[in-house]
Copies of this chain bind each other. A is one copy, B any other.
């Protein structure tokens, strides 16, 4: 795969230009690009600029509204019900988050249940934003069914991530992980390189275990950690649907295609931390980093350490992007308005 190394300022400028050409207003384009760049910088290319051309096709197809921040309604004093009206993920979600962060100052906890909204992307971005405001964040989201139940043969759950952000020094703790063993994107990578996948990663389209990456792309990915990871994934699927009245299981569409409205759900919970706990938490996280590692020279990490180190490194050294994708973005930025 041919790659381009692009400095961040250039990547930001060109990709924002591509969105502006697609009719996205400046503020909305800014949020969307900050989100994609955060993922790209963090080393999560699957949630990075790769997503931009499809998003622009979605706007062209009328299934992503480049302007709206959705219609919000306080269903209770601490519960914001959000119809995303097909708006952009970070536009709708950040609007809701600003409202519930403000509300949680008074109520102690506040929740946004979001439906009909485009892909939120990397949840760590939102958790980081909330934690830097001094508040605790929990986020859940569903997506197309790609993961099979433990002991089952067909996909029934999304890769259903959970993200948690907690204020700490010198950096907040940001945990963001899918409940699948690997991403479907990784299976596609193996398929593109015609390499077999390790046993246990996936089932084929007939529900049989396979090491054939190509067949696995039409099958289902395993949950991480066996029955426990499955239990988490299915519980998050049910939780999100219960709170957002979004679609569930195999009926979820819109985050992997260019022509169907997104019908998954997203849940954000913001909580005021107890007073005075910051130093204890910061010290605890540092104690973990400082502990003697099992393997000499391989330091123990806390959640988010690896992604943050990647962001710092990539901000200096530039983003490594598949040439094909970068060229596509450049073309989108240069097309006639």
Contact = CB atoms under 8 A, between A and B. Distances in A.
Interface of A: 74-79, 81, 104-111, 113, 136, 138, 149-154, 156, 162, 164, 166-168, 173, 175, 177, 203, 207, 224-226, 228-229, 231-232, 234-239, 241-245, 248-249, 269, 271-277, 280-281, 284-285, 287-288, 291-295, 298-303
Contacts of A244: 274
Contact of A302 (B234, B276, B294, B303): B234
A156 B287 contact: yes
B269 A300 contact: no
Closest 8 CB pairs of A and B: A79-B108, A225-B225, A76-B108, A175-B235, A245-B274, A78-B107, A152-B300, A78-B78
Contacts of A277: 241-242, 245
Contacts of A249: 284, 287
Given A232-B175, A242-B273, A77 B108 contact: yes
B239 A291 contact: no
Given A225-B226, A242-B167, A294-B153, A271 B79 contact: yes
Given A107-B107, A149-B288, A151-B299, 6 more contacts: A74-B108, A77-B107, A78-B109, A81-B274, A136-B242, A225-B229
Contact of A136 (B78, B167, B243): B243
B238 A173 contact: yes
Q: Name, among A74, A81, A110, A242, the residue most crowded by chain B CB atoms within 10 Å (CB to CB).
A: A242
A140 to B, nearest CB: 10
A154 B280 CA distance: 19
Contacts of A303: 231, 234-235
A235 B173 contact: yes
A257 to B, nearest CB: 21
A108 to B, nearest CB: 2
Given A107-B79, A110-B78, A242 B151 contact: no
Contact of A177 (B111, B175, B231, B291): B231
A238 B281 contact: yes
18 contacts: A76-B106, A77-B107, A79-B108, A109-B109, A111-B271, A136-B243, A149-B288, A151-B299, A151-B301, A152-B292, A164-B235, A175-B234, A224-B228, A224-B229, A234-B288, A242-B281, A245-B275, A248-B280
A81 B272 CA distance: 11
B166 A136 contact: no
